[in-house]
Amino acid sequence: MSDKVTFTVDGKQLEGKQGQLLIEACEESGIHIPRFCWHKRLDPVGMCRMCLVEIDTPRGKALVPSCTTQITDELSVETESEVVKKAQEGVLEFLLINHPLDCPICDKAGECPLQDQTMAYGPGESRFIEEKRHFEKPIPISDIVLLDRERCILCARCTRFSEEISGDPLIEFIQRGNKTQVNTFPDEPFKSYFSGNTVQICPVGALTATSYRFKARPWDLKKVSSTCNCCSLGCSVELNVSQNKMLRILGEDNEYTNQGWLSDKGRYNFEYLHSTNRLLSIHSKENENFENINISEANEKITKKIQELGNPDIKFIIGANSTNEEYFVINKFANLLNRNEFLGKDNSNVYFADDHISNGYFGDQYENATFEDLDSSDAIVVWAEDIKDNLPVLYLRIKKAVKNGVKLVIFGHTNTALESLADLYIGSEVISNNFEIQKELSNIKELKNIINGKKVTTIIGKSTPLQQKKSLDTLIDYLQKVSDLKILNCFSKANTFGALQQIDQLKGLNEFCTEYENSKKNIVFTIGANPVNASFFGSQIKDILQEADYVISLDIFKNETTELANLILPTTAFGEKEGTITNMEMRVMKQNKILPDPGSTLSEWEYLVMIAKSLGEDINYENVSEINNELVSQYKTTVNLPTFDNLNKPSNLFGILHEKEINLNTNDVEKNNISLLMVKRLYGDSSTQINSQSISMLGSERFIELNSITLNKYGIQSNVATLTQGSASFFVNIKINNFLPDNLVIAPINRRGFEKLDPTKEFDIKETKNMKELSVN
């Protein structure tokens, strides 16, 4: 039987796929059937009855919901008959019985499916004269989401999302009949990394986000598509701006990457753009105090300093939030200084603000995977840092693939959150606390059953910077031998792959520390990087920057690193600059500018071009498209180049998959004894997050995870304790995680103060009386 089905809608012959839902098949053929509960990324429920259509059945014509009806051959459908119209009017009249008509003060008004469809399909007036039901308006169901139960039409989109897609069903229908409401359990807030998606898919104004509430009317918003840079997944987003203020970020449904979803970090991490703490003018340190100076003074200072120091060693520490174009200019700038023999020729002087970058698996002998390969492979093998916290939407993609029958193998100990999805979780019996493989992989029968001779996609990267790469090599060798392997290199930070592609040879902060020579004259540029905070080498780098002859920081906020700079140059941020970024599939996508440059900020490349010019270098770009043009001209092929023109094509959500050679040649770390596993959490103390009011507090909890045997070893009964190491001492909450091996304690690295901890040194955990006991005694 062919999988093509022919059916008739309103007298027109249409074609669809076998088993397809009627509403979807119609949509694809351009016939819109009104709906509230149906969403193409969620399982159908048929709750709202708005999509009723008339079909021919053996017993005559019948009204059926098109979201739960599959198309069959020769099915005849009426979507605009009198009966259907009456049904639609009836459904809307029912829905409006309890829905308050507070559109003038509702954030959804103007983009509200209920409002729009009432206009298009509604009865025009209601016969209902009784009192509507009332609830407290609105109640917070988490720190960032508010719920107005009066407006809710019970479509179950949010509850289905939380159960099917994100897998944290913390909201549900409570009560029944006229009393039915969506709610959380008392004292169990909707604490999900993905809660913002429910706000976006809510077809009425029932779920609203604290950051957008009462900020704008949808018809006043200026919109532009862009690509999120919170992690290296490259989610397609729509930026919403009103009066030059970013007010909202929505997920765009990009089949290839995020499929409509965003993490709350990607969605709500934007208020910092308008924070009063933003760096808006150039600061120069004179006698330990920062003074405002103008751009030509700054330029003069830099050139003078470089000339004055004679033959200084110039090093660059770069962050992950620059665009490919900016990295391209950084690379060129760094090379120019090289050629002038400020520095030996074979020495790279660009360092990525990350500890111990591993070399990854690039090059011809490895086949690069895309996210689509996750769905089409037989098995997914994960050995990487915590995916749910560092690449949240990739977690959704994995969850979806598993739901569709793809087998999942997880290697410990950082991805315990994925254990419940996994077919095979390989923990301490195979992997030591130092992430060494202790058992011949070919002897693990369960693993063999899942991967032998199968199509396998692996997500591979170091679990922690201190891990040796050796075990990853062993795993990749084995997988290549026994399976048809595709590889997703896992570097989670924003545009890491852009940096890898554009910088000739990138190194990490450990190389920076070892290659820095005190005896020389030194100039250090930090570009969008804060290596003093959130790095194992933080204190070492602090000493270096204090010692260096001149430090120039390009950043958007003052932070621990800029405090040590001699000159701070304010730069533009997400939404204020145009460019391309490369995600972890090496998909190049476009970031667009919608906000003006605030204050006297400039893009990173503008500063560098300016400095280069005054040093007499031949580097001249008028605008970012010129850089983009030159950047793509260096690719080996000429088709599908990631030019602005190509990427700006309407609905080009695919982006462009372009593999540019990546040259990484770092040394493996020496063997460490990891006792404290420092893991990066989604929310932390980054300057962008703490300056975004709505989410600033989400990364404040200090906690450690350990298994109950380890907990017993420390003799701790309560759920709070004090973690001490040297002079550092923290009051921490304890989370039991029994998938962890004995004697391994997980602590978040991006929480205030935790960067002081040394993961390889001894530490102690002591019982602390919890607050209740303290106040009683």
Partner 1 sequence: MRWETQRLEKAKQIIKMYPQKRSALGPLLYLAQDKDGYISNESIVEISSLVGITEVQVQSVASFYSMYKQEPTGKYLLSVCKSISCEISNSSEVIESVKEFTGLSNNETDDQNLFTYESVECIGACGGAPAVQVNYETIEGLTPDKAIDLCSWLKETEPKVIVADELQEKFGGVKSFDWAIEDNTGTSSPVPGFQTYDTLKEKK
Q: Report the nearest approach of partner 1 to the CB of residue 717 (Å).
A: 16
Binder of partner 1 out of 95, 147, 171, 564 (CB under 8 A): 171
Q: Does 110 bind partner 1 (CB under 8 A)?
A: no
549 lines the binding site for partner 1 (CB under 8 A): no
CB of 99 to partner 1, least distance (A): 22
CA separation for the pair 716, 721 (Å, rounded): 8
Residues 116-145 that bind partner 1 (CB under 8 A): none
DSSP, res 105: G
Nearest-angstrom CA–CA distance, 384 and 390: 10
Helix residue ranges per DSSP H, 553-650:
604-614, 624-633, 644-648
Total residue count of the chain as it appears in this document: 777
Closest alpha carbon to 316 in 338, 285, 283: 338
Beta carbon of residue 188, minimum distance to partner 1 (angstroms, whole number): 5
Give the count of alpha carbons within 13 A of 659, CB side only.
Answer: 14
Give the one residue of 169, 218, 427, 598 binding partner 1; rule: CB under 8 A.
169
Nearer to partner 1, 100 or 169 (CB): 169
Site string for partner 1, 174-203 (x = CB under 8 A): xxx------xxxx-x---------------
User: Which of 116-124, 162-170, 465-473, 610-618 is the region at the interface with partner 1 (rule: CB under 8 A)?
Assistant: 162-170
Residue 52 or 170 having the CB closest to partner 1: 170
Is 172 a binding residue for partner 1 by CB under 8 A? The answer is: yes
Number of residues that bind partner 1 (CB under 8 A): 14
Least CB distance to partner 1 at residue 713 (A): 24
Amino acid identity of 18?
Q
Give ∠ CA 166-170-176 in degrees, rounded to 5: 120
Residue 143 CB, nearest approach to partner 1 (Å): 17
675 vs 738, beta carbon nearer partner 1: 738
- Min CB(608)–partner 1 separation in Å: 51
Q: Using CA atoms, how far apart are residues 720 and 772, in angstroms rounded to an integer? A: 11
**Smallest distance, partner 1 to C-beta of residue 423, A:** 18
User: CB under 8 Å to 93, separation ≥6 — which residues?
Assistant: 122, 123, 126, 127, 128
Distance CA 138, CA 102 (A): 13
Closest CB to partner 1 among residues 45, 64: 45
- CA distances from residue 154 to 36, 261, 289, 687 in whole angstroms, order as listed: 9, 21, 59, 39
Would you give the DSSP letter of residue 185?
B
Helix, strand, coil fractions of the chain, as percent rounded to 5 = 30, 25, 50
3-state SS assignment for residue 514: helix
Spatial separation of the C-alpha atoms in residues 67 and 53, rounded to whole Å:
10
Q: Which is nearer to partner 1, 184 or 463 (CB)?
A: 184
Task: Kindly state the smallest distance separating residue 425's Cβ from partner 1, in Å.
Answer: 16
Instruction: State in angstroms the smallest separation of the CB of 113 from partner 1.
Output: 25
**Residue-wise DSSP of 424-449:** EEE-TTTB-TT--B-S-GGG-HHHHH
173 binds partner 1 (CB under 8 A): yes
DSSP 507: B
User: Interface with partner 1 includes 344 (CB under 8 A)?
Assistant: no
170 is an interface residue for partner 1 by CB under 8 A: yes
Minimum Å gap between C-beta 190 and partner 1 is 9
Closest CB to partner 1 among residues 198, 750: 198
> Distance from first CA to last CA of the chain, Å, rounded?
78
CA distance 116 to 122: 9
Applying CB under 8 A, the span of 87-95, 172-180, 229-237, 664-672 interacting with partner 1 comes to: 172-180
- Answer positive or negative: Cα dihedral of 91, 94, 95, 100: positive
Closer to partner 1 by CB, 153 or 182: give it.
182
State yes or no: residue 37 binds partner 1 (CB under 8 A): no
- Give contact residues for partner 1 (rule: CB under 8 A): 168-176, 183-186, 188
